[in-house]
Amino acid sequence: MKVQISRATDVPELCLSENAEYSHRLITRSRNNSERMSFHVTRYAPAFNEVITGDGIHEYVLFCLSGSAELESDDGWKALFDNGAALCLGTEYSLRLKVLDSGLEVAVACVPPAE
């Protein structure tokens, strides 16, 4: 893989959940020949409130660029995910993601590449 720069303006914005979740897939296997990981920037609208689950294949690390969300797992674990926080999600998880009034923007690293 050669050295590359990719900007959000270089790639289409994907709607993952209408009026609620949008992503720029900046580095991908198909676009950049990235064999081991992909990198995205994803925005969540205020009031996004859904349970997110692992697919048994991909591990994610999310880094909060701006905004905030409340996180809650089935076993009662709770946390505030906000600016400067990193969240590590293994391949198996179930977590409620409740985005607060400020919305949420995250940088996402995914192994293996999501696409």
Structure tokens at 56: 């048994």
| CA–CA gap between residue 57 and residue 33 (Å, rounded) | 19
What the chain holds in terms of domains, given with CATH numbers, is: 12-111 (2.60.120.10)
Which strand (E) or helix (H) includes residue 29? helix 29-32
What is the pTM for the complete model shown?
0.91
Q: With a cut of 70, which residues of the chain have pLDDT below it? A: 1
Residues contacting residue 6 through CB under 8 Å, at least 6 positions apart: 26, 27, 31, 32
Q: What is the pLDDT of residue 108?
A: 97
| CA–CA gap between residue 63 and residue 91 (Å, rounded) | 17
Q: What is the pLDDT of residue 27?
A: 92
Q: What is the pLDDT of residue 1?
A: 62
